[in-house]
Chain A
Amino acid sequence: MAQSSRSTLSRSHQESANGGGASLPAVRDEELREHLPGLEPERRLTDWGRSERIEGLLDRTLVDFFYKQWFRAEVEGIENVPSDGGALLVSNHSGALPPDAAMIGKAIKEEHSRPRPLNITVEHFFKGYPGFSMLIPKIGCVAAHPANVHRLLADEEQLVLVFPEGRKGTEKLYKDRYRLRRFGRGGFVEAAMRAQAPVVPVAVVGAEEAAPVFAQLSVLKKLTGLLYVPVTPTFPHFGLLGMLGYLPAKFKLRFLPPIRFDEPGLHEDRGFVQTVAHDVRAQIQEELLDMVGKRRSVWFG
């Protein structure tokens, strides 16, 4: 739906540029940008608010350090991430301030033959929380709205990462590690089918031990208005920076073969959507158990 309306728009632009003398000339984005008297003209932001500068800075410093030195990430099956077209990456989720999303993005940047930026879907909540609201879009996070996901997958043909467990995954305590929560209502499968984009399941091991959550403080949660206030080895007693106090667990990421939906209209079959969502969840769970079973040490892999 969204795609068709966009294409008609661009078509009418072309027509007005070619024929119809009375019509007004179409103006392109780049031409308009020249008129912006920006303080920093070299600054580049995408339409989603993603900032090359800030994302690059974080990527070169913090993310690079965690990926290479701290978590010593090991990646399998990176070739399963398509090198063109939209694709929906689906992963398990955990940790107080989850490090898994950043590691998946970094893995694609480091290991893939054709690295592409990864769009991470997050709760709408972050748009309204002071501080987060400014940082989050700049590093490539997008609110988890079906229309946003569809636009990214179908119109812009980008990579999108979803955590169907959502909050239920990050709230989960250490004793429940590597046991997947319910996969939402299957919305992610529906989005992929509608956009006819493949789903790439991703299993991540290490995040649960890197940021173990021992308890949830409901009183502080109410006071701060945050989604949750977890107790981790370094939070809350070391303050907000304690959120980044990850333990040096060995990270293993496994990208599984893509599941393709090339037929249009599949998303209308609710039963099929639920079945596929269930299958994807089972597949990730199975891989997780396999990876955890083979692991000799939490810290050395």
Chain B
Amino acid sequence: MKSKRVLITGLSTYWGGRLAQALEPDERIEALVAVDNEEPSVELERTEYVKVGTQHALLRRVVEAAEIDTVVDTRLVVDSATTSPRKAHENNVIGTMNILAACSGPDSPVQKLVFKSSGHFYGCEQDDPAFFEESMGRPHAPETPIERDIVEAEASLRDFAEKNPLVDVTVLRFANVLGPAVRTSHIDLLSRAAVPMILGSTRGTSSCTKTTWCTRSSTPCSASCRVCSTWPAMGCSPSARWRGC
């Protein structure tokens, strides 16, 4: 199926904005609609912005009115330093449930759903393998609220895929990114004059290790989703830690 009418949720996020910009020049896409509670952070030409959060009744009306065939959900929050656990839960779990509700149903025009998840899905413990692959699943129960949320969101997505077998569901487990155009707590940490280094820890240092370098020129490169955490406690000098995926 070729996507013609696309809805992007979470336009104000980094990935949402970048995706809208990347899709705009594509002539095969007839309609590009994007929703978010907050105004978009990037300049857009033909994307139709609708100020809607994750209220499923409103979203459903947008989906039906615009006859959306493809929904790309880019809302997922993974930075626990900038979002409170409650807000993150609201967005990651409840928001996902609402968006899925807006896309489901026998008369829904949606045929394809792309969900931006995170490499946090796999977790990071001392006895985990150095590289995760999609077939591996998660060896340990989630430890942090963010990880719990991501596992829960993916579970509701799996449920959706089972109930709507005709909809093409894709999950992208991204690694965290670094780059000149991104602002995350990792970048704040690494921009300091002296960067603290981890000598060792008995538990995995989960959020610090799964980072992929992304540049403006490159396309979203972490879709293949190899979590780059070779050794959780290897230390954090930027040149050593981060490599492209």
Contact check, B218 vs A27: say whether CB atoms are below 8 A apart. yes
B219/A6 in contact, CB under 8 A: no
Pick out which of these stretches binds chain B: A69-77, A108-116, A121-129, A162-170: A121-129
CB-CB under 8 A for A48 and B126, given A33-B244, A127-B231: no
- Kindly list chain A residues whose C-beta atoms are within 8 Å of the C-beta of B198: 133
Cβ contact within 8 Å between B240 and A131: no
Give the distance in Å from the alpha carbon of A41 to the alpha carbon of B203 in the complex: 31
Chain A residues with CB under 8 Å of B221's CB are 27, 32
Given contacts A1-B135, A27-B219, contact A36 B28 (CB under 8 A): no
Q: A29-B243, A132-B200 are in contact. Are A6 and B133 (CB under 8 A)?
A: yes
Known: A2-B135, A39-B239. A134 touches B233 (CB 8 A): yes
- What CA separation (Å) do A39 and B237 show in the bound complex? 9
B213 smallest CB distance to A (angstroms): 6
Interface size class of A (residues with CB under 8 A): 35 or more
Given contacts A27-B218, A32-B244, contact A145 B200 (CB under 8 A): no
B215 touches which of A28, A35, A151 (Cβ 8 Å)? A35
Distance between Cα atoms of A171 and B4 in the complex (Å)? 65
Q: Is B127 an interface residue (CB 8 A)?
A: yes
Within 8 A of B (CB), among A6-38: 6, 9, 13, 22, 24-25, 27-29, 31-33, 35-38
- CB < 8 Å: which of B203, B219, B224, B234 contacts A133? B234
Please tell me if the beta carbons of A45 and B201 are within 8 angstroms of each other in the complex.
no
In the complex, whether A107 has a CB less than 8 A from a CB of chain B is no
Interface residues of B in 1-52 (CB under 8 A from A): 22, 26, 28
Q: Given that A39-B237, A151-B131 are contacting pairs, would A49 and B230 also be in contact in the complex, using a CB cutoff of 8 Å?
A: yes
Q: Which partner residue on chain A sits nearest B179 by CB separation?
A: A35
Interface: A263 (CB within 8 A): no
Query: Which residues of chain B are within 8 angstroms of A131 by Cβ–Cβ distance?
Result: 199-200
A294 within 8 A of B: no
Residues of A within 8 A of B234 (CB): 49, 133-134, 137
B129 near A130 with CB under 8 A, answer no
Q: Per-residue CB proximity of A27-68 to B under 8 Å, as 1/0?
A: 111011101111111010101110000000000000000000
Q: A5-B135, A49-B230, A133-B231 are in contact. Are A128 and B202 (CB under 8 A)?
A: yes
B160 is an interface residue with CB less than 8 A from chain A = no
Interface residues of A (CB under 8 A from B): 1-2, 5-6, 9, 13, 22, 24-25, 27-29, 31-33, 35-41, 43, 45, 47-49, 124, 127-134, 136-137, 142-143, 145-148, 151
Extra 16 A-B pairs, beta carbons < 8 Å, given A43-B240, A133-B231, A143-B129? A27-B244, A29-B244, A35-B213, A35-B244, A36-B238, A38-B239, A47-B131, A47-B243, A49-B230, A127-B231, A132-B200, A134-B199, A137-B234, A143-B231, A145-B127, A146-B129
